[in-house]
Structure 1
């Protein structure tokens, strides 16, 4: 069983990005990119362990503005409510940075670690970042797994009103208890109804994320980057790498229609998980890893066959 590592950062895209690498240094790399407001520890170690034990090297990162990566608090922060109003009116959004900068951060980490190509696995916003890497730097990507993510088509269904209202409200105060309770409620709202997590396990998980570092201001900047990004449908259709999409039928944050459209656009294999919400519950982590490994192993086998010819 592999344990978490001491914090290590690397200079990528002119900022400090925290990362962890697991597994044999000569093994093919699987890069894990998580979503809005989430540090790398949102990727459960049970999943990291399963991928490493299958013979792969696993790289996970803290996206900018979260975890132990650099916080960009020096950037001006537009009024969030006004930006949402502008979005509804069809006006241009002005995020502190575009989502392509998070793409450049991830590519910068690969550069700094001398990783020529990787299999990308992205959750939610991480799926969007992974899609952007595949679109803009296809030579760096062996395969793409997009989990509970979207093409960013503005016509797709929006999050449920209950989830949207909660996310916009924020914690009742800056006390540790109120912050913990806020994030606990978030996960309960977006979690998988068919794969419930006990309150004690959820509290342990959320506390681990808070201990790693969740920046409220950073989350707002990331959110603006998401809502200010463009529709990638046509670009995804041009991908020539293997792509698969994993999405739950009970996702209240990014409804399953977004996953279906992503799969349609990229001509990807679609894995629909009945009763899965917008999380990675313990009960289905092995299944998700199996799907990741099935695609990754297929690509690596094809590579070995081609090299032997």
Structure 2
């Protein structure tokens, strides 16, 4: 793993932890993870399945998670999140478009002119904004388990919201058990508990403690809808969604696919809001076909 230094448009200096798999000369695939989740949400074995097909895979920690820069926020961040849910009045410390700009800054730091984007959940929203605001940097777009941020579209169940806001634990054993409980609540019948335990322990050691999901949640609930801008997206697009996702209702994925000309929609049976090993063959096969088709168009 390595650290890249970027400077935001507000003059903020960020250190973004990242890891690359594969050959530098191969086409770049940038993996963008979801709310409060480090790059380890993209399992290394999953990354290698993609590099085996001739791609350079880059995963990274957003600001506020993993080993990347943590952002200070005055007051109790849970107050900001709950206020944002209730009234929309609380201002987040940064926006989803700021997170999109961070990703582009990372590409700059790594000398990558264009990349295939793969974003999951919040990462899928970030990927949409990269394709909207920085379309010249996008070779293709893949959006998984995500939405357009419109009212009434892709909404979570009440139980999923409760699970996401549950305490993450303050010790390694508590954190691992909290992750098992979370994924059991949102992951659907494909959840692999042994894999979740191993991944959670690795995430804890990677970040040296629990993640702060609250800043990301604050940015998420304030996120502007992407729908009015999806017609501007020219990148070939694949949308992947679990049929039983309780965090982002499948209407979110359908809406994205409706908004981007020529987008392909893949709905995976029995998949919730998760990336368990059992779905990797389906995901990698669809992704590689998509990347190759996108390259053939240029």
Same fold (TM over 0.5): yes
Pairing partner for 2:252 from 255, 258, 263: 258
Q: Partner residue of 1:204?
A: 198
- Which residue of structure 1 aligns with residue 177 of structure 2? 181
SS of residue paired to 1:50: helix
Q: Note the C-alpha offset of 1:136.
A: 0.1
Other-structure match for 1:120: 117
Whether contact under 8 Å (2:122, 2:220) holds in the other structure is yes
CA distance in 2, matches of 1:82, 1:105: 22
Partner of 1:3: none
Structure 1 counterpart of 2:107: 110
- Match for residue 291 of structure 2? 296
What TM-score do you get using the length of structure 2 for normalisation? Answer: 0.92
Q: How does 1:138-217 map to 2 (within 5 A)?
A: 138-171=135-168, 174-193=170-189, 195-197=190-192, 199-213=193-207
Q: Which runs of 5+ in 2 are unaligned?
A: 8-12
- The offset of 1:214, in angstroms, is 7.3
1:68 to 2:67 alignment: yes
Return 5+ residue gaps in structure 1 as ranges.
1-6, 304-309
Q: How far apart are 1:202 and its partner, in Å?
A: 2.3
Pairs aligned (count): 292
What RMSD over aligned residues (CA atoms) do the two structures have, in Å?
1.8
The 8 Å contact of residues 37 and 214 in structure 1, kept in 2 or not, is answered as no
SS in 2 for 1:169: coil
Larger CA Rg, structure 1 vs 2: 1
Classify 1:75/1:214 alpha carbon distance in 2 versus 1 (closer, same or farther; 3 Å). same
- 1:174-221 per-residue CA deviation (whole Å, 9 max, x = no partner) reads 23322221121111111131x231x33321121112222276563101
Cα 1:237–1:302 change in 2 (3 A) is closer
The alignment status of 1:280 with 2:278, answered yes or no, reads no
Deviations 1:141-181 (A, max 9, x none): 0110000011111222532222212222314x523322221
Q: Does 1:271 align with 2:266?
A: yes
Alignment counterpart, residue 232 of structure 1, candidates 226, 230, 251: 226
Indicate conservation of the 8 Å contact 2:84/2:221, yes or no: no
Secondary structure in 2 matching 1:17: strand
- Residues 30 and 123 of structure 1: is their aligned pair in 2 closer, same or farther, counting only changes over 3 Å? same
Correspondence for 2:32:
33
- Using the size of structure 1 for normalisation, the TM-score is 0.89
Deviations 1:20-48 (A, max 9, x none): 11111111111111101111111112221
**Is this contact kept in 1: 2:131–2:233, CA < 8 A?**
yes
Q: Secondary structure at the match of 2:4?
A: strand
